[in-house]
Amino acid sequence: MLKENEIYKENMKGIKLICPICHKTKIVEVPKKVVENSKTLVTISVPSNYICQHGFQAYVDKWFTIRGYQNSDLELKNLEIFETGSKKIDELVTYTVTLVIKKIIKNLKKSEEEGAILGSTLFNQKGNVLYFSLPDEIFLNIIRQIEHQKVESEIKLQKMIFELENKQKIFSEILKVEEIILTLVVLFPSVVSISDADWYLNNFKADVMVYEDPLETMKKEHSKMKKIEEAQKRKAKQKEPSNFWIYSDITSDVSLEQLDRIYIDKLGIEIDKKNIVNLNEIIQISKSRTFKGKIYFSEKFIHLMEGLALTMKDASILLSKLNKKP
């Protein structure tokens, strides 16, 4: 019978990783089952100070051959191993379930980066590993527990809780998405109580089970933009309040509501505000005491100015600026 360390060696395989920046090397033990069962490349995310001061990602095929490296955009805290491309997921489950699985993995990574959890693993119902970032010895023990339950236990457990000697907690929980069964394993720090860990998982599940199809999101956004454009077109087609306007600034040290006459910057003259058709719009916009745009005048006022143009300088100035773009 194999001893514990021999079981460990039987389930693990060493891969030589080389930092793509400084070229330092290290043999990293990875679970055989994760790599051999993968139908896509497996990504190994190496945190800084694990091999050297650099963090990077290595891509490994099912024959344990390194296919490439990439500098890491995120500062990772743990060595992580997960599938690239999610092609296997797409083949086994529906599009809806794929979205949920991807959201679970994304949220697990975020929780690990924030330090809320120490590591996690996600299995599908066939026992294939979809995501892995647990310490090796814990990962192997969990696999044995799951295999034991599948083979010998007639009772289907919804949740398993373990407390280690160092007070760290392991939660193993069944998630059901449509007809697909997933097993989620999460390792919590020793400072987290069992009740707090359970509360965290309940909130985690509530969040990841609420998803939105990106295509539907895109359609909604497109529909929203279309409605805005249509509203803008309708507004543009609306009849202007008057045929006579001047584009100008209006500035004032006091609220325009308090004034009887309003100074039009472009004209350099004051106009009785009862002659301004869009006065309410100007007052609303000029709450900051500044307005810039079209100032519409009543037809009666413009006809009066036309009659006074030859004898009144202000009338002549106004008519010379009328209906001219800025």
Q: Are 262 and 273 in contact (CB under 8 A)?
A: yes
Name the CATH superfamily for 86-214.
Answer: Dynein light chain 2a, cytoplasmic (3.30.450.30)
Q: Which residues contact 148 (CB under 8 A, 6 or more apart)?
A: none
What is the amino acid identity at position 283?
A: I
Within 8 A by CB and 6+ apart from 116, the residues are 200
Cα dihedral 114, 115, 119, 120, rounded to 10, equals -50
The domain segmentation of the chain, as residue ranges, is 10-85, 86-214, 240-321
Report in angstroms the alpha-carbon separations of 233 from 225, 226, 282, 304.
12, 10, 21, 34
pLDDT tens-digit map of 306-323: 888 777 788 888 888 888
- Sign of the torsion angle spanned by Cα atoms 268, 274, 276, 280: positive
DSSP state of 303: H
Phi/psi at 73 (5° precision): -85, -20
Give pLDDT, residue 90.
38
Per the listing, tokens 């896509």 go with 40
Q: How many other β-carbons are positioned within 10 Å of the β-carbon of residue 89?
A: 20
**Continuous H helices in 61-193:** 87-92, 95-114, 136-152
Reported as type and span, the H/E element at residue 178 is none
Q: Which two tokens stand for residue 169?
A: 């907690």
- For β-strands 42-46 and 56-60, DSSP reports them as antiparallel
CA distance 30 to 63: 12
- Contact (CB, 8 A) for 90 and 40: no
DSSP class of residue 123? Answer: E
Cβ-contact 83, 43 below 8 angstroms: yes
Q: Which amino acid is at 176?
A: K
Low-confidence ranges of the chain (pLDDT < 50): 1-8, 73-76, 84-93, 151, 153
In this predicted model, what pLDDT tens digit does every residue of 257-315 receive, in sequence order?
888 888 888 888 889 989 998 888 888 877 766 788 888 999 898 888 888 877 778 88
Mean pLDDT of all residues belonging to the chain: 76
pLDDT, tens digit, 9 for 90 and up, residues 33-57: 777 777 667 778 787 788 888 888 7
Coil, strand or helix: which one is 135?
coil
Whether the model clears a pTM of 0.85, i.e. scores above it, the answer is no
Decide if 61 contacts 49 (C-beta within 8 A): no
